[in-house]
Amino acid sequence: MRNYIFYAIYIIAIVTVVTLITIVIYKLVLMPPYMTTSQKDNVCSVDAWSIAGIAGTVLGVGAAILTLIGAFAVGAWWFELDARVGKQVKKLFNRQKKEVNTQVDALLADQKRKVAEQEQRIVQQEKRLSESSVSATRQLNEFEDRFRNLSKQMDSMHINVDVLRQLTDSSIELSLSAATINPPWEIEDWAKDTMKVLEQTANTMKASRLPELMVSRYLWYVERLLPSNPSDLINFEQRLREQHGPQNVLYYWEGVLRWRQILRDYYDRGNVKVMQGVSTLSGSSVYDGPDYLQRIDEQIAQYEPKVEQWKKRIGIQDVKTS
Protein backbone atom coordinates (compact mmCIF):
# COMPACT_ATOMS: atom_id res chain seq x y z
CA MET A 1 0.00 0.00 0.00
CA ARG A 2 2.84 2.38 0.86
CA ASN A 3 4.51 1.83 -2.51
CA TYR A 4 1.36 2.72 -4.34
CA ILE A 5 1.19 6.08 -2.48
CA PHE A 6 4.76 6.90 -3.48
CA TYR A 7 4.01 5.97 -7.07
CA ALA A 8 0.97 8.28 -7.09
CA ILE A 9 2.92 11.23 -5.59
CA TYR A 10 5.72 10.71 -8.10
CA ILE A 11 3.33 10.70 -11.07
CA ILE A 12 1.44 13.72 -9.75
CA ALA A 13 4.73 15.66 -9.31
CA ILE A 14 5.84 14.92 -12.86
CA VAL A 15 2.44 15.83 -14.27
CA THR A 16 2.42 19.07 -12.24
CA VAL A 17 5.92 20.12 -13.38
CA VAL A 18 5.16 19.35 -17.01
CA THR A 19 1.89 21.24 -16.79
CA LEU A 20 3.52 24.30 -15.23
CA ILE A 21 6.34 24.32 -17.79
CA THR A 22 3.81 24.04 -20.60
CA ILE A 23 1.78 26.93 -19.21
CA VAL A 24 4.88 29.13 -18.76
CA ILE A 25 6.11 28.45 -22.28
CA TYR A 26 2.66 29.04 -23.64
CA LYS A 27 2.44 32.36 -21.87
CA LEU A 28 5.86 33.43 -23.06
CA VAL A 29 5.15 32.49 -26.66
CA LEU A 30 1.66 33.86 -27.00
CA MET A 31 1.82 36.65 -24.48
CA PRO A 32 5.41 37.83 -24.28
CA PRO A 33 6.27 40.29 -21.52
CA TYR A 34 6.04 43.91 -22.49
CA MET A 35 8.68 46.20 -21.04
CA THR A 36 9.34 49.92 -22.12
CA THR A 37 12.67 51.54 -21.95
CA SER A 38 11.26 54.91 -20.68
CA GLN A 39 8.00 56.48 -19.95
CA LYS A 40 8.43 58.93 -22.75
CA ASP A 41 9.27 56.37 -25.36
CA ASN A 42 6.66 53.78 -25.61
CA VAL A 43 9.04 51.18 -27.04
CA CYS A 44 9.15 47.44 -25.91
CA SER A 45 12.60 46.38 -24.93
CA VAL A 46 11.92 42.60 -25.08
CA ASP A 47 12.56 40.98 -28.38
CA ALA A 48 12.01 37.48 -29.68
CA TRP A 49 15.38 36.20 -28.65
CA SER A 50 14.91 37.32 -25.12
CA ILE A 51 11.66 35.48 -24.99
CA ALA A 52 13.36 32.39 -26.43
CA GLY A 53 16.05 32.64 -23.80
CA ILE A 54 13.50 32.87 -21.03
CA ALA A 55 11.63 29.91 -22.47
CA GLY A 56 14.85 27.91 -22.71
CA THR A 57 15.68 28.85 -19.14
CA VAL A 58 12.24 27.70 -17.97
CA LEU A 59 12.63 24.46 -19.89
CA GLY A 60 16.05 23.91 -18.36
CA VAL A 61 14.73 24.57 -14.89
CA GLY A 62 11.85 22.18 -15.57
CA ALA A 63 14.21 19.56 -16.90
CA ALA A 64 16.38 19.98 -13.82
CA ILE A 65 13.38 19.65 -11.57
CA LEU A 66 12.28 16.52 -13.41
CA THR A 67 15.84 15.17 -13.15
CA LEU A 68 15.85 15.83 -9.43
CA ILE A 69 12.45 14.19 -9.04
CA GLY A 70 13.72 11.17 -11.01
CA ALA A 71 16.89 11.07 -8.94
CA PHE A 72 14.84 11.15 -5.74
CA ALA A 73 12.59 8.45 -7.12
CA VAL A 74 15.55 6.26 -8.08
CA GLY A 75 17.14 6.81 -4.68
CA ALA A 76 13.93 5.95 -2.93
CA TRP A 77 13.56 2.86 -5.10
CA TRP A 78 17.12 1.70 -4.34
CA PHE A 79 16.63 2.55 -0.68
CA GLU A 80 13.63 0.24 -0.40
CA LEU A 81 14.97 -2.38 -2.83
CA ASP A 82 16.73 -4.36 -0.12
CA ALA A 83 13.65 -4.30 2.07
CA ARG A 84 11.45 -5.33 -0.83
CA VAL A 85 13.83 -8.13 -1.82
CA GLY A 86 14.05 -9.32 1.78
CA LYS A 87 10.29 -9.12 2.12
CA GLN A 88 9.81 -10.98 -1.13
CA VAL A 89 12.38 -13.62 -0.14
CA LYS A 90 10.78 -13.92 3.27
CA LYS A 91 7.36 -14.21 1.67
CA LEU A 92 8.61 -16.90 -0.71
CA PHE A 93 10.45 -18.62 2.13
CA ASN A 94 7.36 -18.56 4.33
CA ARG A 95 5.27 -19.92 1.50
CA GLN A 96 7.83 -22.62 0.77
CA LYS A 97 8.13 -23.31 4.47
CA LYS A 98 4.39 -23.59 4.73
CA GLU A 99 4.31 -26.02 1.81
CA VAL A 100 7.18 -28.04 3.28
CA ASN A 101 5.51 -28.03 6.68
CA THR A 102 2.28 -29.13 5.06
CA GLN A 103 4.06 -31.98 3.27
CA VAL A 104 6.01 -32.91 6.42
CA ASP A 105 2.80 -32.85 8.46
CA ALA A 106 1.13 -35.03 5.86
CA LEU A 107 4.09 -37.44 5.89
CA LEU A 108 4.15 -37.48 9.68
CA ALA A 109 0.42 -38.07 9.79
CA ASP A 110 0.78 -40.90 7.27
CA GLN A 111 3.66 -42.38 9.25
CA LYS A 112 1.70 -42.05 12.48
CA ARG A 113 -1.24 -43.77 10.82
CA LYS A 114 1.01 -46.58 9.55
CA VAL A 115 2.70 -46.91 12.96
CA ALA A 116 -0.71 -47.02 14.65
CA GLU A 117 -1.90 -49.68 12.20
CA GLN A 118 1.32 -51.63 12.74
CA GLU A 119 0.92 -51.37 16.50
CA GLN A 120 -2.68 -52.49 16.16
CA ARG A 121 -1.62 -55.47 14.03
CA ILE A 122 1.10 -56.32 16.54
CA VAL A 123 -1.43 -56.12 19.38
CA GLN A 124 -3.83 -58.33 17.42
CA GLN A 125 -1.03 -60.80 16.64
CA GLU A 126 0.00 -60.86 20.29
CA LYS A 127 -3.63 -61.41 21.22
CA ARG A 128 -3.94 -64.24 18.70
CA LEU A 129 -0.65 -65.73 19.88
CA SER A 130 -1.85 -65.50 23.45
CA GLU A 131 -5.15 -67.13 22.53
CA SER A 132 -3.27 -69.78 20.51
CA SER A 133 -0.96 -70.42 23.46
CA VAL A 134 -3.90 -70.72 25.82
CA SER A 135 -5.68 -73.00 23.34
CA ALA A 136 -2.54 -75.10 22.84
CA THR A 137 -2.06 -75.36 26.60
CA ARG A 138 -5.68 -76.37 27.02
CA GLN A 139 -5.43 -78.93 24.23
CA LEU A 140 -2.18 -80.26 25.71
CA ASN A 141 -3.82 -80.60 29.11
CA GLU A 142 -6.82 -82.32 27.52
CA PHE A 143 -4.46 -84.62 25.60
CA GLU A 144 -2.56 -85.43 28.80
CA ASP A 145 -5.84 -86.14 30.57
CA ARG A 146 -7.03 -88.35 27.73
CA PHE A 147 -3.64 -90.06 27.62
CA ARG A 148 -3.74 -90.73 31.36
CA ASN A 149 -7.28 -92.03 31.06
CA LEU A 150 -6.26 -94.16 28.10
CA SER A 151 -3.25 -95.45 30.03
CA LYS A 152 -5.53 -96.36 32.92
CA GLN A 153 -7.90 -98.06 30.51
CA MET A 154 -5.00 -99.90 28.85
CA ASP A 155 -3.70 -100.97 32.26
CA SER A 156 -7.17 -102.13 33.16
CA MET A 157 -7.43 -103.93 29.83
CA HIS A 158 -4.02 -105.54 30.38
CA ILE A 159 -5.15 -106.65 33.80
CA ASN A 160 -8.40 -107.96 32.35
CA VAL A 161 -6.52 -109.67 29.52
CA ASP A 162 -4.10 -111.22 31.98
CA VAL A 163 -6.99 -112.40 34.15
CA LEU A 164 -8.78 -113.72 31.07
CA ARG A 165 -5.58 -115.43 29.90
CA GLN A 166 -5.14 -116.99 33.32
CA LEU A 167 -8.76 -118.15 33.32
CA THR A 168 -8.35 -119.51 29.79
CA ASP A 169 -5.12 -121.29 30.69
CA SER A 170 -6.74 -122.69 33.80
CA SER A 171 -9.71 -123.87 31.77
CA ILE A 172 -7.47 -125.49 29.18
CA GLU A 173 -5.34 -127.07 31.88
CA LEU A 174 -8.43 -128.44 33.59
CA SER A 175 -9.83 -129.71 30.28
CA LEU A 176 -6.57 -131.43 29.37
CA SER A 177 -6.22 -132.96 32.80
CA ALA A 178 -9.80 -134.16 32.73
CA ALA A 179 -9.46 -135.57 29.21
CA THR A 180 -6.25 -137.48 29.94
CA ILE A 181 -7.93 -139.35 32.79
CA ASN A 182 -9.50 -141.52 30.09
CA PRO A 183 -7.55 -144.50 28.70
CA PRO A 184 -4.90 -143.31 26.20
CA TRP A 185 -6.11 -145.61 23.36
CA GLU A 186 -9.47 -143.83 23.51
CA ILE A 187 -8.11 -140.27 23.43
CA GLU A 188 -5.14 -140.76 21.08
CA ASP A 189 -6.86 -139.24 18.06
CA TRP A 190 -8.43 -136.49 20.14
CA ALA A 191 -5.02 -135.60 21.60
CA LYS A 192 -3.43 -135.34 18.16
CA ASP A 193 -6.22 -133.05 16.89
CA THR A 194 -6.02 -130.91 20.03
CA MET A 195 -2.26 -130.64 19.62
CA LYS A 196 -2.74 -129.20 16.12
CA VAL A 197 -5.25 -126.66 17.44
CA LEU A 198 -2.91 -125.57 20.22
CA GLU A 199 -0.07 -125.16 17.71
CA GLN A 200 -2.24 -122.94 15.51
CA THR A 201 -3.20 -120.72 18.45
CA ALA A 202 0.50 -120.38 19.43
CA ASN A 203 -0.29 -121.52 22.97
CA THR A 204 3.19 -122.82 23.73
CA MET A 205 2.52 -123.67 27.34
CA LYS A 206 -0.51 -125.85 26.66
CA ALA A 207 0.90 -127.29 23.44
CA SER A 208 3.81 -128.64 25.47
CA ARG A 209 1.63 -129.61 28.42
CA LEU A 210 -0.54 -132.03 26.41
CA PRO A 211 2.36 -134.32 25.30
CA GLU A 212 3.63 -134.32 28.85
CA LEU A 213 0.22 -135.46 30.11
CA MET A 214 0.01 -138.12 27.38
CA VAL A 215 3.49 -139.41 28.22
CA SER A 216 2.57 -139.55 31.89
CA ARG A 217 -0.65 -141.38 31.07
CA TYR A 218 1.12 -143.97 28.90
CA LEU A 219 3.84 -144.42 31.58
CA TRP A 220 1.12 -145.07 34.14
CA TYR A 221 0.03 -148.10 32.12
CA VAL A 222 3.64 -149.17 31.59
CA GLU A 223 4.19 -149.10 35.32
CA ARG A 224 1.04 -151.18 35.95
CA LEU A 225 2.07 -153.78 33.33
CA LEU A 226 5.59 -154.15 34.87
CA PRO A 227 4.77 -154.68 38.54
CA SER A 228 6.97 -156.44 41.04
CA ASN A 229 4.01 -158.55 42.22
CA PRO A 230 2.63 -160.97 39.57
CA SER A 231 -0.82 -160.92 41.14
CA ASP A 232 -1.07 -157.19 40.49
CA LEU A 233 -0.28 -157.83 36.82
CA ILE A 234 -3.07 -160.42 36.56
CA ASN A 235 -5.61 -158.06 38.09
CA PHE A 236 -4.57 -155.18 35.85
CA GLU A 237 -4.70 -157.32 32.70
CA GLN A 238 -8.20 -158.42 33.67
CA ARG A 239 -9.13 -154.77 34.00
CA LEU A 240 -7.74 -154.00 30.53
CA ARG A 241 -9.71 -156.88 29.02
CA GLU A 242 -12.87 -155.48 30.56
CA GLN A 243 -12.06 -152.07 29.05
CA HIS A 244 -11.14 -153.64 25.70
CA GLY A 245 -7.69 -152.09 25.96
CA PRO A 246 -4.32 -153.34 24.71
CA GLN A 247 -2.43 -155.60 27.19
CA ASN A 248 0.99 -155.33 25.52
CA VAL A 249 3.61 -153.21 27.31
CA LEU A 250 5.21 -152.25 23.99
CA TYR A 251 1.98 -150.54 22.86
CA TYR A 252 2.12 -148.13 25.79
CA TRP A 253 5.90 -147.74 25.61
CA GLU A 254 5.67 -146.85 21.92
CA GLY A 255 2.98 -144.31 22.87
CA VAL A 256 5.42 -142.77 25.37
CA LEU A 257 8.15 -142.51 22.75
CA ARG A 258 5.69 -141.27 20.09
CA TRP A 259 4.47 -138.36 22.22
CA ARG A 260 7.98 -137.44 23.25
CA GLN A 261 8.87 -137.22 19.56
CA ILE A 262 5.74 -135.10 18.90
CA LEU A 263 6.93 -132.63 21.51
CA ARG A 264 10.45 -132.59 20.03
CA ASP A 265 9.06 -131.94 16.54
CA TYR A 266 6.91 -129.14 17.93
CA TYR A 267 9.92 -127.38 19.37
CA ASP A 268 11.95 -127.96 16.21
CA ARG A 269 9.20 -126.31 14.12
CA GLY A 270 9.11 -123.43 16.60
CA ASN A 271 12.89 -122.91 16.25
CA VAL A 272 13.46 -123.80 19.89
CA LYS A 273 17.04 -125.06 19.95
CA VAL A 274 17.71 -128.10 22.17
CA MET A 275 20.89 -130.06 22.67
CA GLN A 276 20.74 -133.80 22.18
CA GLY A 277 22.80 -135.96 24.49
CA VAL A 278 23.14 -139.65 25.32
CA SER A 279 21.50 -141.42 28.23
CA THR A 280 23.97 -143.13 30.61
CA LEU A 281 21.54 -145.97 31.24
CA SER A 282 20.58 -147.31 27.82
CA GLY A 283 22.45 -145.23 25.30
CA SER A 284 19.23 -143.63 24.00
CA SER A 285 19.26 -139.93 23.10
CA VAL A 286 17.78 -137.32 25.43
CA TYR A 287 17.19 -133.59 25.03
CA ASP A 288 18.86 -130.97 27.14
CA GLY A 289 16.32 -128.25 26.47
CA PRO A 290 13.04 -126.86 27.85
CA ASP A 291 11.75 -128.04 31.18
CA TYR A 292 8.96 -130.05 29.59
CA LEU A 293 11.38 -132.12 27.55
CA GLN A 294 13.68 -132.58 30.52
CA ARG A 295 10.83 -133.79 32.73
CA ILE A 296 9.66 -136.23 30.04
CA ASP A 297 13.19 -137.52 29.47
CA GLU A 298 13.64 -137.97 33.19
CA GLN A 299 10.39 -139.96 33.43
CA ILE A 300 11.35 -142.11 30.43
CA ALA A 301 14.80 -142.69 31.88
CA GLN A 302 13.21 -144.10 35.02
CA TYR A 303 11.16 -146.74 33.15
CA GLU A 304 13.51 -147.49 30.29
CA PRO A 305 15.62 -150.08 32.21
CA LYS A 306 12.49 -152.00 33.24
CA VAL A 307 11.25 -152.10 29.67
CA GLU A 308 14.62 -153.32 28.43
CA GLN A 309 14.69 -156.12 31.03
CA TRP A 310 11.11 -157.12 30.09
CA LYS A 311 12.04 -157.30 26.39
CA LYS A 312 15.11 -159.45 27.11
CA ARG A 313 13.08 -161.75 29.30
CA ILE A 314 10.51 -162.45 26.57
CA GLY A 315 13.10 -162.47 23.77
CA ILE A 316 12.30 -159.22 21.97
CA GLN A 317 15.20 -157.52 20.26
CA ASP A 318 16.19 -154.01 21.37
CA VAL A 319 14.60 -151.16 19.49
CA LYS A 320 16.04 -147.61 19.56
CA THR A 321 13.84 -145.23 21.47
CA SER A 322 15.32 -141.91 20.34
Q: Is residue 176 part of a domain?
A: no
Q: Are residues 98 and 186 in the same domain?
A: no
Containing structural domain, residue 285? 181-314
pLDDT recorded at residue 240: 87
Neighbouring residues of 259: CB distance < 8 A, sequence distance ≥ 6: 191, 211, 214, 215, 218
pLDDT recorded at residue 165: 66
Q: Are residues 192 and 79 in the same domain?
A: no
Q: Is residue 126 part of a domain?
A: no
Q: Which residues of the chain have pLDDT under 50?
A: 271-288, 319-322
Q: pLDDT, tens digit, for every residue of 179-226?
A: 778 888 888 888 888 888 877 775 555 667 788 888 888 989 988 888
Q: Is residue 295 part of a domain?
A: yes
Q: Is residue 127 part of a domain?
A: no
The domain boundary, picked from 92, 109, 126, lies at 109
Q: Are residues 204 and 101 in the same domain?
A: no
Q: Are residues 105 and 199 in the same domain?
A: no
Q: Are residues 188 and 102 in the same domain?
A: no
Q: Are residues 84 and 204 in the same domain?
A: no
Q: Are residues 194 and 283 in the same domain?
A: yes
Q: Is residue 259 part of a domain?
A: yes
Question: How many structural domains does the chain have?
Answer: 2
Q: Is residue 147 part of a domain?
A: no
Q: Are residues 104 and 225 in the same domain?
A: no
Q: Is residue 28 part of a domain?
A: yes
The domain boundary, picked from 109, 140, 165, lies at 109
pLDDT recorded at residue 275: 41
Cβ 206 vs Cβ 172: under 8 Å: yes
What distance in Å separates the CA atoms of residue 69 and residue 18, rounded to the nearest whole number? 12
Residue 8, classified by CB atoms within 10 Å of its CB into exposed (0-12), middle (13-18) or buried (19+), is: exposed
pLDDT recorded at residue 266: 79
Q: Is residue 59 part of a domain?
A: yes
pLDDT recorded at residue 12: 84
Cβ 252 vs Cβ 221: under 8 Å: yes
The domain boundary, picked from 75, 109, 143, lies at 109
Cβ 274 vs Cβ 293: under 8 Å: yes
